[in-house]
Structure 1
């Protein structure tokens, strides 16, 4: 149901928050810039950040020898192998903005630098390139890289390079706007003690380049179909996007593989933010896709999810 008070069903064209599917768009824009030779994936990320932000990242020789700092490359941000702590893993931050404190703090605005500072109060997960660990901080920084390289916000560049060319009329970057564009249903979150709150309106700047996107199911199918077919990226960059070597098969660059019992491999991404969960997956050629979502952040039944994908993509006996 789009609204538990009225019983209205969810409609395919309803707008909703797509969470970390934002990362697929950010990775696409970053790889387009690499294809245009406006950056190199093996550049130290500090060379493509504002000086104030670069100064936040400790470098070798600083007091903490484990600090990743200026050894982190753009590639490592894309593949989640930077080692940087995810700011959303900070317990106080999570409780305040996604847990029991959500209703009191849902409309607060967050600056990317402040979120990076939250991440850097914690030691890194690992040295740069040492291992895969999903981190929202990585894509927060990539959003800042896009601005530094192009002179425009990641939202502006994503609209110009992805949203407008594909005519994704239900897709947008809301910035700090709390409301969802119409049409939309409601969104529901669990805030603690099994209590449910309406999470439809919130300031998504706590997610930023890691998860602020708003979209629709048809738009997501169109986006991933175009991406997987090679409409948005040259062939070498698309191959990089699906190269999971650095993560030992778990994640490429803004895409991850899902392997089904019938030995088919799908590519896509999921997204979760207060009140919303979504996943889009498609075949390697982008010709067969499925997007599905729920307007809740309660855990999705993994067995039911796998059964849905098997029914959709595995040939019938």
Structure 2
């Protein structure tokens, strides 16, 4: 089996007692021993099929993996594997809207109804005592008060349980999905609080299309993917395929219980996520994107400052406009985003100066998540 040079130079595969490939001896870890150990723990004790890491810091580039990319063949995860990145799509969408703001095409404080007048915004559009209504800024910062469409009871029964297997290839439109959220009462007055909602980014994608005359996918490709040469990154639309080199992605379909069945759900129609989470990428591309974003290669200083103007989200995170500011247990602050979609958990974070950037992926959606990997890497 041919292995990419980046993997061969930083990783010597061994096999554990469980039969799963894990990253090599500490001699090859180049300062990432805690990260390797955290990856192995997620596989051996956390139950994740496999973990993948791509790091770039002062010592250069390092790739590590643990577990398997494919239960059927036991192939190890490879440095150039592509995977679904879920909500890590959001910083790409936010970047496009902030670029449009810098060009004078729109303003962050534009009411959403200005760009989407034909959408029935109801209580969100300026009536019912809500003033000017939800703004573009509030969409990007999750302060709109619009409920998350993925919490709709009917949708959850259909797509977040066993019924998903029969519905996984169905196509959805952003309007169809967002109307599920807009039919429900606001969570709060726009701007009053913070609440993560995928509905916000479906609307953000629709605003991009109305403002430019092109789909958000076209604008992301033109403004971000091509300039940064992110050749592993794509917006599949309704295609169920992961193009190029990739492993399998697994899900328990969010079932309760100690040992729920694990399903291969690699093939799915990502239009259920749309602008809130449809993208596919690789560790290498995510490192390049996040580093470019936080260091100002993609946005002028004023727009980057807007993106980094945050409000509290939870005990460790503050959220800006499509970007998370996280303070780790060791006091280090990093910027980036996490992403979840059926079968895949992803995270990409960087120090503010871009000198230390890391991307992680788990090809299973039921494990402990990526937070421990971020801690292990940046607090080593």
* TM-score in terms of structure 2 length: 0.77
Verify the 8 A CA contact 1:131 1:247 in the aligned structure 2: no
Pair 1:96–1:162, CA change in 2 (3 A): same
Alignment of 1:119-130 (within 5 A): 119-130=181-192
Measured in 1, the distance between the counterparts of 2:102 and 2:126 equals 30
2:345 to 256, 277, 287: 277
1:185 correspondence with 2:247: yes
* TM-score in terms of structure 1 length: 0.92
Alignment of 1:1-317 (within 5 A): 1-49=68-116, 51-53=117-119, 55-58=120-123, 59-62=125-128, 71-191=133-253, 192=255, 194-245=260-311, 250-300=318-368, 305-306=371-372, 308-314=373-379
Measured in 1, the distance between the counterparts of 2:307 and 2:336 equals 11
Pair 1:301–1:86, CA change in 2 (3 A): closer
What is the RMSD computed on CA atoms of the aligned residues? 1.8
**CA displacement 1:122-173 (0-9 Å, x = unmatched):** 2111110010000000000000000000000000000000000000000000
Residue matched to 2:37:
none
Structure 2 residue runs of 5 or longer lacking an equivalent are 1-67
Structure 1 residue runs of 5 or longer lacking an equivalent are none
Measured in 2, the distance between the counterparts of 1:217 and 1:126 equals 37
Verify the 8 A CA contact 1:131 1:246 in the aligned structure 2: no
Please give the secondary structure, in 1, of the residue aligned with 2:288.
helix
Verify the 8 A CA contact 1:154 1:209 in the aligned structure 2: yes
How far the C-alpha of 1:70 sits from its partner, in A, is 5.4
Pair 1:247–1:156, CA change in 2 (3 A): same
**CA displacement 1:82-108 (0-9 Å, x = unmatched):** 000110011220221132211011000
Aligned residues: 306
Please give the secondary structure, in 2, of the residue aligned with 1:292.
strand
**CA displacement 1:241-289 (0-9 Å, x = unmatched):** 1111476862101111111122110000010000000000110011211
Larger radius of gyration: 2
Please give the secondary structure, in 1, of the residue aligned with 2:278.
coil
Please give the secondary structure, in 1, of the residue aligned with 2:318.
coil
